[in-house]
Structure 1
Amino acid sequence: MQERSNMARKYQYRGSALPTNDSSAAGGLSARLVGLVLALAWLVAAGTSYVWNLGQLDQRVEALALSHARVAHQKHVDYRAWVAKRGGVYVEASDMTPPNPLLEGLVSERDIFTPSGRHLTLVNPAYMSRQVMEESGRADGILSRLTSLDPIRAENKPDAWEAAALESVERRGEAHAQSVSLIDGREYLRYLEALPVTQACMPCHEQQGYKVGDVRGAIAVAVPMQALRDDLAPERTQLVWSHAGAALGGLVLIMVLTTLLSRAEAQIARRNADLATARDAALADKQRIEDSHATLVQTHQQLLQSDKLASIGKLAAGVAHEINNPLAFVTSNLGALEGYTRRLTELIATCEAAADKRDPEALLAAIADADLTYIREDLPGLLQESREGLGRVTRIVHSLKDFSGVDQTPRQPADLNAGMESTLAVVWNELKYKARVVRELGELPLVDCLPAEINQVFMNLLINAAQAIEEHGTIHVRSGCATGGVWFEVEDSGVGMSDDVKRHVFEPFFTTRPVGKGTGLGLSISYDIVVEKHGGRIEVTSEPGKGSVFRIWLPVG
């Protein structure tokens, strides 16, 4: 009666959990709300990306300006050094290059005349630098000048920015100064780097108290920013269009997905209505199901009292048959679902391409080719069948666990050779097609243990040995006595293991088998049973291509 009551409550719960048609409106609202949130999030992401990339362009402009400034500065330093090393150069005096009045009295031969009567005047490093800076500035727009906090020429007096930069360079010993500022209303990258005093500078600057190595001046360079921004204008335009296109394409895709989601929710609502009708029919058959369940419970209790070891072979065969049946149609359904997934994935890719090309006709054609109506009609049935099949497998596995009574087995003296023999009988179907089993079992004393759990260890080692053999090989099963305990070995002629695999072989979920072919728990559970529960040891010896040997040791007392 208690079982019937539980069954009745289960059906009542399932019935009350089914949604009604009232959920369809809420489902549509939910889909629209999700679409709105996704659209807003997408726009925020696109805007954030645009702002960030715009900042990156500005950083590139400043980096390019700094590079130009450094190149210009180095060019002027090189010109100045060349002239300084040669003590200046003589050029023909002209309106463009008149004699330098600042050299009068400092240099004895500021002006010389050639035998032919040509008037040559001495151009010192500073004079040459000024002329080169003026001419190059007219050519490329980069402003360069010599400046100092204590200039000889009044024209070299620093402006406010240069004075502050010179303070940091001359007084505080910084290598250079740079910043973006305005000159006559235009934005420039301003750069100033120290100009150390050399021996060639002393004829002109010794009277000011300069010494070789002093920093008493600098070359200031100003690079116009607008020209560099104009060079990067195409990239800025491309950035605008790419982000606008991405934002629009994302909104179109979100709109399509929202529409599909709304339709799917409507289909689910209709399916729930059908399930509600089926629920009423199921409640009408409840009494018959409860009676059948009571009969099954009674039969199950009788089986629990029977000889489990004598019937384990038939049970294993039955379990395999019962598991294979639902797994067969679950596998079939997964194949269909895989096809649907591939079609939907192709549809999404087509939608993305059509959105990028702004081609609504291609989008509609792709949706028609995908046959979404049939998929929506077939999916609920496939999922329901698969869910029922997996439920059957779960119930079968739980029944097998209850039958084995692993959790309830008490510790008791046991003949482990007999346990190995019974385990071989249970797993024989896994072994006979893969290997010849050679038994080398020695005489053993009774061992105080949990027999069912030791049998589980035997089973894991035997199945692993069979799986390690690629075609057909040999499995040796050995046992014997050791000091204070007994040992068992399972040796296979399989593929063997590398040192790296051996280091991880007892870790939970570690497996070398393909995905879906193993859980990676067998050896981890075996280690726990042998070491943690029985105080024993489990060891492995293996080499690639030479098979593996698993050896367990258990104390007798």
Structure 2
Amino acid sequence: MDWLRRPALFPGRLASAVAGVDAPPSLPLLALARRAWAERQLDSRQALSWAAAVLEGLPTLDLPAADARLLGARMTLVRAEVHLQQLRLDEAEQGVKAARAQFEACSDDCGLADACWLEHILASDRGDTQGLRRALLDALACAERAAEPDRALFLRIVLARSDMFRDAEEARQAWAGRLPESIEGLSPMCAAALADYLGVREGLLSHFSLSATWLEQGFELALASGQLRRAMALASNLGYTFTAASDYARAIDWLQRGLALARRAGWPGSIGLCLAQTGEAMRRVGQVGAARELLQECLDTLAGHPDSRTILLALSYLGQVELDCGHAPQALTLFETLVRRALQVGSSDLRLDGELGRARCLLRLQRLAEAQAAARGAQDLARQLQQQTLQVELLWLQAAITRAAAAPPAEVLDGLLEASQLAAVIEGYRPPPALLEETAEALAAAGRHQEAYASARQAARVRKDSLSDEAAKRAAALQLHQQIETLAAEREHLRRLAEAESARARALEDAQQVLSHLSRVGQEITAELVAERVFDSLERHVHAMLHVACMAIYLLDEAGTQLYCAFGVEEGQPFVDPPVPVDAPHSYCARCVRERCSFVLGVDEQPHADSQVPGTSQMLSVMFAPLMIGERVVGVMTVQSPRAAAYGQREELIFSSLCAYAAIALDNARAYQRLSELQRHVMAQEKLAALGAMVAGVAHELNTPIGNSLLVSSALLSDARDFEARVSREPLRRSDWQQHATRTREGLEVIERCMDTAAALVRSFKQVAVDRSAEQRRRYELLELCQQCHQSLGLMLRRAGVQLDIAVPAGLLLHGYPGALSQVLVILINNAVTHAFDGREQGLMRLEAQLNGPHQVQLSLRDDGAGMSPAVLKRVFEPFFTTKFGQGGSGLGLSICLNIVETLLGGRIRVSSEPGQGSCFTLELPLIAP
């Protein structure tokens, strides 16, 4: 559950990339929690329902207690933020406190930073400037404790922006060098916040062009990262920036964009704030009717939230609208409501605005005593809040009230002088020219002409400076407008370039995917060595990558004179086309072979009617391509579609690639078929040669007992004839009869032994011959099989002077194909005699076996012959590889062994050898063959 402790401060889409990316997908509630956090600004209502579902299902999750508390706290924070967006401030405050308590219990500094961040927004909505800064400092401390640099940077930027509204110059100096001056390399969240801060900083320093540039960048970044609240604030700031630069049209445009965002989000607080700010902008440009409608809509929108700071702003702005229209009674009612509600929520700055407006209304209504009392109360409040510029306005207002009450001119003059003197000591403040002119008139009326002249000159200078500043603002507005238009044109140009590059990238990506897929398809097709499987694979992939209703493959015969249809399918049904002569004039298949090029035909050019395969449909799009290996043509392939213009450049590339793979695969299949036939023929010859060697050995072994039997039988026959003659000539003694019986018995015993030997050889040969011919699967004893092979090859071994020792344990039973194994042993022994002991008069071989686990036996044939070089050892199992080429060696013996062992017997064969150290062939065989 590490994802619960990751930085989750970031709003909007950015959260989906930062918070919860490791949530296990097997737990739907955890995925739901991640979505609730990620989309709490993009879709706040849905996020609220998701958070409720997670909190309800939390007891069913199999999570550690700490992780469950953290998940619950995070969802509580989601609900609090949504309540805040809906201006349910009390519920939001309770949720923030509950979540903060849970984060503190789990010592989760990241969660605490998020809770403090939300507290700062809550304080901002309530107008609690001290609480706002305190919450930001707490959030920053938590982020630094959690060692989250990106989070800490974000909070420092927000804190610096807040300080700019308290004292711009002091904040600029305090934060100089502590924050980046460029958004390059920053996360979207930090980049949007930094652009916002830099825009506000430059705007407060009257650098309106640079301010607008930064604010627009921040607006785009905030939208891209889903920070809707920041985007609305940036649109509002852009409105004020353009208003200050006297570009009212663009100012109203940005304020309306912010209002549109707020309406789409459905947040009453944001909608009301945008309505209020747009209404005030309309008032300043003289559109009092539109301003009144917007401000009244703001009040209606926030009617259910009377304690909202925004509703107090709307009351203040609407009071100014009514006052500008000369509706003093209505304005007075609005300002009195503002004062009352500001007192209730403790908003001193807006209470001061209400008292000032109330005093002006009372002056208009000639309720002078009440106006004077209201102005003095506002003056005291302005001193308390250190609002010196408002003190100047209030002193000026009190002087006007004094004049209206017909007070002595000296009292009026004192009020005006006090206002002018205070204005003169305020750093960076320009006194209103009208105030200085009124002061000059009052001084002149009092006979203080020199002071009156100085005040009049100062008024003229201030008015001139104001006009110059206004002209400079208008020039700056024109310059800003031009710069913005240039930036807009550049942005449009870059957008079009980006779209073109995006389209090009998509095309390249599509081509790369096609090539990658074709590579995999090619590997699959060329891996097949049977033509029928090649056809099936081609058909499957052709239909997957192209629109094909009919597909056919024609192969060139051995003589190269005609094409025969090896494969043809239309709408899943096979068809057969008669052979096509290569010189057929109207056949595109024949033309492909003759010209060795592809053809793509559309509606305008169709194949000749004579080339139409009987029983097939007419197609509107057709492709033919030769199947070529280098410059050699092996056949032709065609695909056809009933769609018009079904095949373009992309389809041609795919088709040509498939044809190249098909040519290679079909040529390999044909070569493999020829090789298989040759291999079967050579294997038959090898079997006959091995059988011949065995027959010769058996014949030699039979010759001795049969010869001995013939010799003994001849002797017995001669002795019997002599004995018969003696019987006919003379009477015989008992001893003569006994001698004849003894010789006869001994001779017959010799004959019997010889015949037993011959019979055993015949039985052994018969068993081996039956096993070889029938590949009979049966249970057999390994020792007996090895002895039979030894007996069969005894003559060859004795002639070669090679001794074969057998060290195979008795009782080792296998179930499989003894004939195949005996063939392998015969080939290995013959191979050793032929190669290992070439040029030697004697040698030693040892055949041994042992169990290799419960289900496997290891059989080794070792010799002390010449051994093999590494080059020979590397190729020893390759077909047709032999060191006796041209001397009777075929090079297939060990290849046949490999084939029999790995396919029929289900085992493995390997060899180890060094020059002069002999060789060892090892067979690892299962006790039960597959």
TM-score with structure 2 setting the length = 0.17
Larger Rg, first or second structure (1 or 2): 2
**Higher helix fraction (1 or 2):** 2
Higher relative contact order (CA 8 A, sep 6+): 1
